[in-house]
Amino acid sequence: MDQKRDVAIFVDMENLFGGYGKDVATVPLDQVIHDIEAEVARSGLGGQTAVARAYANWARGDMAGYRRQLLAGSIKPVQVFSFDHSTKNAADIELVVDALEVAADMPWIELFVIVSGDGDFVPLIRRLHALGKRSFVATTSHPAAGAVNKLLPSVADRFHIIDVAQAPAVVPAQRALPPKKAQPAKKPKPGNQKPQPVKKPQPAQKKSPAPKATVLEHPELKLYKASIHGFIRDDPTLWVNGKVSAQRLGLLLRKRWPNITYKTFGYATLTRFVEEGCGLKTAAQPAGGAVRKIGSSA
């Protein structure tokens, strides 16, 4: 009998090639997918691949070399955009939103493969476990790949490093210079030495106070923000004259997160959380006037 297609693979390309400041074309994407599928079959965690997506800024000219690998491996390239001028963590947020959508819309997907070493995905894996899903984290031995967070392998059901052959960089040969001749040490002339001044002992410096302990970020904060960005991306009715309807957004959040609110993260109102925590402007009333409860009749 054919194996069930119950595996979803999400590839954080930016993490694998170490950022756009490096050579982005060095990731053997087809080998990565093939190795993951082989390891999934050996481990018995899942069957065949149903979803394979790779996240990056595919509009860059130097990303065009992946076109053949994307087509051959049936990998969907996901274009990463940002809500502001900074693109930091934009790919992570897109990946988290997509993974949660797949978990909700495709209940037959049982194994979620995250190809990244980024510790930002730890809350996502914990959430997937709470939804009854299995997790598989993979990275590569590529020297430019991002470092693996210490907590990431421990929370995943399986952690795997893909052995990637990397050709050594070619360093141009340099002409050897002749060794310098050792100069004989000069002997001090007798009777011509000045006495060295005696250094006074310096008073002991006061130790600077120990830095204050860093406040740890709530484990669900990134997922909560990702839900907000996902809602406003997919639901045009949330926008009112270029601003987000706080009331309608609140209804969607309560449905998705019945046990967590903006108060969980120390905010007094949802409006303040959306504006200060997410960098978005809010509108007091949703489009169309009164707010209708989700699921109620018109």
pLDDT tens sequence across 177-216:
455 566 666 665 655 555 666 666 666 666 555 544 443 5
Residues forming a β-bridge with 245: 283
Q: Which of 87, 86, 142, 133 is nearest to 114 (CA)?
A: 133
Give the mean pLDDT of 133-152: 91
What percent of the chain has a predicted confidence (pLDDT) above 70?
73
Cβ neighbours of residue 290 closer than 8 Å, sequence gap 6 or more: none
Q: What is the pLDDT of residue 107?
A: 95
**165 or 120, higher pLDDT:** 120
Whole-number pLDDT of residue 184: 64
Question: What pLDDT was estimated at residue 215?
Answer: 39
Task: Give me the pLDDT at residue 86, please.
Answer: 53
> Does the pLDDT value for residue 175 go beyond 50?
no
> In the 3-class helix/strand/coil scheme, how is the chain assigned residue by residue?
CCCCEEEEEEEEHHHHCCCCCCCHHHCCHHHHHHHHHHHHHHHCCCCEEEEEEEEECCCCHHHHHHHHHHHHCCCEEEECCCCCCCCCCHHHHHHHHHHHHHHHHCCCCCEEEEECCCHHHHHHHHHHHHCCCEEEEEEECCCCCCCCCCCHHHHCCEEEEECCCCCCCCCCCCCCCCCCCCCCCCCCCCCCCCCCCCCCCCCCCCCCCCCCCCCCCCCCHHHHHHHHHHHHHHCHHHEECCEEEHHHHHHHHHHHCCCCCHHHHCCCCHHHHHHHHHCCCEECCCCCCCCCCCCCCC
When mean pLDDT is compared across 11-20, 129-138, 188-197, 246-255, the lowest value belongs to 188-197
Highest mean pLDDT among 34-38, 177-181, 197-201, 219-223: 34-38
Pairing of strands 48-56, 76-79: parallel
Provide the pLDDT for residue 83: 52
